[in-house]
C-alpha cells in the first residue's frame, strides 16, 4: 500500500479536456488521471487512485522554488509557471479545441493532448516520465519506438502515439529523460489516441496553430456569458468548467470526471461520478439559460429525452453519457485507493434506486426552460405527462431520497416537496401553452401532497420542515425557498427552515447536508452545493447582505484555479470527493444569478420612487 503522502491534495489538480474526456494535472506538472476515449472509459493514467499501480505523465523541473498556475484568460488552456534555483519554466497543457470546420481542414486524431514547455529565463533541468497503464493500471501496454521522436502504444484494440521533441529513454513500458532547457528554448509533447489503429499522427508544425485556435475557441465561447454582475470571474470559470464536463456528442454533463475520490480520507464513501444525474437538470438548465448558453441548454434537454427513452415514464437516477440506465457497480478491490480510501468503485449502484424527487426536478427543468421563452413541443408534453403519472401513482411510497443513502427507503419530505412542485408546474404550463392535461387529477394529488407535508413534514417546535417525519433538518429542504409554486419566500415555514438549517447544519460558511446515520460508518465533509443553496435561499428570503457575505467566503474556498470538489472539510479547508464537481459549479452560478436577481428586485422600487 502506498503512503498517504504519495498523493497530492485533491485541490492541487486542474482540469483540461476536449468535450469527450478530461485530464487532471497536478501543481507539479503530473497528469495523474485520464480516461480514454470517454469520461466513463477506463483510465490510462490513474495514479490518483493507486500511486504504485496507476500510470502518470510527469513533467516537472528540478529544484523548484515556487509554482504559479492559471488558466489563460477566458480559456481552459492551463499555464503552470515554475521558478527554480536556476531559471523559470512555463508548462502549457491543453486538448485542442477546434470548430467542426477547422477539424475538416486540419488533421487531428480522435483524442489529442498537447504539453508544451518553454524556458523563459535562465536554464532549467526538466524531468519527464511517462508511464501509460490502461485499465486502472492493470494492463502493461506494448511500447515501441518506430521513428525518431515517435513512440507507439498498443493494448487490446486501442492504440496511442506519443510525440516527443526531445529523445526519451525506454525502460520496458516506461519512457523517461532528464534534459536542460535554456532561455528561449522549448520542447513539445503530444499524445494521440484512437479506439482502433491506425492513429492520426500529431503534426508538430501545427502545434502553434492548435494553441492559437484553442485559445480563440474558448475566448469566443466565454464572451457569450451574459452574466455581468460583480462575480463575473468566478461565474465564467464555473461555466468554462461545465463546458469541459459536457460530453459533446450527446450533450450530457457528467457529475465529475473522476471516480472514488473519497468524501473522507480512508473512508468508504467513494463513488463513481463519471455519469449524468437527472437531478442536476433543473439547476443546470437555469444556469445555462441564465448565462445565455441556449444551445447547451437545448442539447442537455434533448439528452434527457433521449436518455430516458428506454425507461419512460419511469426514470432512473443516473444514466451513462449515451443514455444507458444500466450501470452496475463493481469494487476494484486490488487498488490502493486515494490515500488508502477503499474500495475504488466502477459504476454506480444508485442507478437501481427509486428517488421520487427526480420526477419533480425534471419537470422543474422543463418548466424553467419554457419560462425562459424556449418552446416545448408535443413530445415534450407527452414525456412530462408520463412523469406526472408516476408521481400520481407513487407519491405515497417511501423512496431512497436525494442523497442516495444506503440505509433503506423512507418518507423523505424533500421528495414530497419536489413531487408537489412538479405537479404545480404542469398546471402553469398547461395554462401557458393551452395544453390539455388531466389538471383535476394533478390538483387533487397536489392537495393530498400539501396536506401530507403540513401534517408530517413540519416540526412545530422548530417551525421548519424536517428530513423525514419526526426527524431533523436536511440541507435539501432549502429547496423550499428556491421554488415559487409551493410557499412564498416570506412564509414562516420557509424562513424557519432556513434558520434551522443554519443553526444546526452550518459550520461557518459551509453546510453539512445532514447529521444523522446513513448506513456508512465514516464521517464526511461539508457539501459545497448545499452551501451555495444557502446563499440562494438567503437571497430569496431577503437577507441579501448575509447572502453576499457567505458567497464571498465560499469563493475564497476554491482552489488556485477556481475549481471545487464535491465537499470541503470545514476544519482544514481540504477539498474532498470527486473533482471538479459539476454540481458545485452549478450551485455557484445559480447562487450568483439569484444574488443578481435579488439586487435588481431591491433596486427596482428605489428607481420607481426616484
- The strand pairing partners of 142, in sequence order, are 154
Q: Which of 170, 195, 221 is the last residue of a domain?
A: 221
Domain at 130, CATH number: 2.70.98.50
Number of domains in the chain: 2
Same domain assignment for residues 246 and 138: no
pLDDT along the chain (610 residues), means of 10: 79 98 98 98 98 97 98 98 98 96 91 98 98 96 95 94 97 97 98 88 96 98 97 98 96 97 93 93 89 95 93 94 94 95 94 94 95 94 98 98 88 98 97 96 98 98 97 97 94 98 98 88 91 98 97 98 98 97 97 96 63
H or E segment at 139?
none
Same domain assignment for residues 580 and 602: yes
Q: How far apart are CA 579 and CA 261, in angstroms?
A: 8
- Reported residue count of the chain is 610
Concatenating the DSSP letter of every residue in 543-588 gives -HHHHHHHHHHHHTTS-TTS---SEE-TTT--EESSSS-HHHHHHH
Same domain assignment for residues 215 and 272: no
Same domain assignment for residues 217 and 273: no
H helix runs in 184-314, sequence order: 207-222, 232-244, 281-290, 294-307
Same domain assignment for residues 143 and 63: yes
Same domain assignment for residues 151 and 233: no
H or E segment at 124?
strand 111-131
C-alpha cell at 101: 470546420
Same domain assignment for residues 126 and 193: yes
Q: How far apart are CA 532 and CA 584, in angstroms?
A: 8
Concatenating the DSSP letter of every residue in 51-71 gives TTTS-EEEEEESSEEEEEEEE
The per-residue pLDDT for 3 is 63
Residue with cell 487512485: 49
Same domain assignment for residues 211 and 232: no
Same domain assignment for residues 201 and 327: no
Same domain assignment for residues 83 and 211: yes
In Å, how far from its chain's centre is CA 117? 29
96 is in which domain, residue-wise?
Answer: 4-221
Domain at 522, CATH number: 1.50.10.10
Tell me the C-alpha to C-alpha distance, in Å, between residue 449 and each of 55, 355, 391, 399, 437.
52, 16, 10, 15, 19
Q: Which of 171, 196, 221 is the last residue of a domain?
A: 221
Same domain assignment for residues 150 and 242: no
The per-residue pLDDT for 279 is 86
Nearest to 95 by CA among 51, 31, 147: 31
Q: How far apart are CA 235 and CA 25, in angstroms?
A: 22
The per-residue pLDDT for 608 is 53
Q: Which of 194, 221, 248 is the last residue of a domain?
A: 221
Same domain assignment for residues 148 and 161: yes
Per-residue burial over 130-148, b if 16 or more Cβ lie within 10 Å, else e, is bbbbbbbbebbbebeeeee
Amino acid at each position: 500500500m502506498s503512503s498517504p503522502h504519495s498523493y497530492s491534495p485533491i485541490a492541487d489538480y486542474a482540469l483540461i479536456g476536449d468535450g469527450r474526456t478530461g485530464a487532471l494535472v497536478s501543481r507539479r506538472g503530473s497528469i495523474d488521471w485520464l480516461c480514454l476515449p470517454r469520461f466513463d472509459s477506463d483510465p490510462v493514467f490513474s495514479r490518483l487512485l493507486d500511486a504504485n499501480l496507476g500510470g502518470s505523465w510527469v513533467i516537472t523541473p528540478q529544484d523548484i522554488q515556487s509554482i504559479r498556475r492559471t488558466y489563460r484568460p477566458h480559456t481552459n488552456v492551463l499555464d503552470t509557471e515554475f521558478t527554480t534555483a536556476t531559471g523559470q519554466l512555463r508548462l502549457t497543457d491543453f486538448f485542442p479545441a477546434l470548430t467542426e470546420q477547422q477539424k475538416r481542414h486540419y488533421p487531428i486524431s480522435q483524442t489529442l493532448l498537447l504539453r508544451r514547455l518553454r524556458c523563459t529565463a535562465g536554464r532549467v533541468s526538466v524531468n519527464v516520465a511517462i508511464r501509460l497503464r490502461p485499465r486502472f493500471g492493470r494492463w502493461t501496454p506494448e511500447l515501441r519506438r518506430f521513428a525518431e521522436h515517435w513512440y507507439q502504444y498498443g493494448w487490446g484494440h486501442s492504440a496511442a502515439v506519443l510525440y516527443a521533441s526531445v529523445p526519451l529513454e525506454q525502460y520496458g513500458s516506461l519512457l523517461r529523460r532528464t534534459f536542460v532547457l535554456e532561455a528561449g528554448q522549448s520542447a513539445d509533447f503530444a499524445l494521440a489516441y484512437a479506439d482502433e489503429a491506425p492513429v492520426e499522427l500529431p503534426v508538430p508544425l501545427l502545434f502553434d496553430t492548435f494553441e492559437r485556435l484553442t485559445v480563440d475557441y474558448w475566448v469566443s465561447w466565454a464572451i457569450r456569458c451574459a452574466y455581468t454582475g460583480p462575480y463575473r470571474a468566478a461565474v465564467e470559470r464555473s461555466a468554462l468548467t461545465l463546458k469541459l464536463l459536457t460530453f459533446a456528442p450527446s450533450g450530457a454533463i457528467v457529475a465529475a470526471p473522476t471516480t472514488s475520490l473519497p468524501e473522507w480520507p480512508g473512508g468508504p464513501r467513494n463513488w463513481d461520478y463519471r455519469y449524468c444525474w437527472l437531478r442536476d437538470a433543473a439547476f443546470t438548465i437555469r444556469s445555462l439559460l441564465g448565462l445565455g448558453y441556449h444551445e447547451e441548454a437545448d442539447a442537455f434537454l434533448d439528452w434527457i429525452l433521449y436518455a430516458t427513452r428506454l425507461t419512460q415514464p419511469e426514470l432512473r437516477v443516473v444514466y451513462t453519457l449515451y443514455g444507458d440506465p444500466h450501470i452496475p457497480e463493481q469494487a476494484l478491490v486490488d487498488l490502493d485507493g486515494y490515500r488508502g480510501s477503499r474500495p475504488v468503485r466502477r459504476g454506480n449502484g444508485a442507478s437501481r434506486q427509486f428517488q421520487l424527487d427526480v420526477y419533480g426536478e425534471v419537470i422543474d427543468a422543463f418548466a424553467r426552460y419554457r419560462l425562459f421563452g424556449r418552446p416545448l413541443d408535443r413530445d415534450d408534453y407527452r414525456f412530462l405527462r408520463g412523469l406526472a403519472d408516476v408521481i400520481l401513482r407513487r407519491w405515497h411510497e417511501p423512496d431512497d431520497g436525494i442523497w442516495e443513502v444506503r440505509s433503506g427507503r423512507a418518507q423523505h419530505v424533500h421528495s414530497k416537496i419536489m413531487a408537489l412542485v412538479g405537479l404545480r408546474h404542469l398546471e402553469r404550463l398547461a395554462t401557458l401553452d393551452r395544453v390539455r392535461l388531466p389538471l383535476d387529477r394533478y390538483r387533487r394529488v397536489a392537495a393530498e401532497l400539501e396536506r401530507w407535508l403540513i401534517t408530517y413534514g413540519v416540526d412545530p417546535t422548530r417551525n421548519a420542515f424536517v428530513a423525514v417525519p419526526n426527524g431533523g433538518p436536511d440541507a435539501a429542504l432549502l429547496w423550499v425557498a428556491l421554488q415559487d409554486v409551493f410557499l412564498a419566500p416570506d412564509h414562516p415555514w420557509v424562513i424557519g427552515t432556513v434558520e434551522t438549517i443554519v443553526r444546526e447544519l452550518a459550520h461557518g460558511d459551509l453546510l453539512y447536508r445532514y447529521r444523522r446515520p446513513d448506513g456508512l460508518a465514516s464521517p464526511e465533509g461539508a457539501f459545497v452545493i448545499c452551501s451555495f443553496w444557502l446563499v440562494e435561499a438567503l437571497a430569496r428570503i431577503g437577507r441579501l447582505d448575509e447572502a453576499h457575505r457567505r458567497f464571498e467566503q465560499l469563493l475564497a474556498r476554491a482552489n488556485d484555479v477556481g475549481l471545487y470538489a464535491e465537499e470541503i472539510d470545514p476544519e482544514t479547508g481540504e477539498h474532498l470527493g470527486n473533482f471538479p464537481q459539476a454540481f458545485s459549479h452549478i450551485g455557484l452560478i445559480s447562487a450568483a444569478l439569484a444574488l443578481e436577481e435579488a439586487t435588481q428586485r431591491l433596486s427596482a422600487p428605489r428607481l420607481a420612487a426616484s
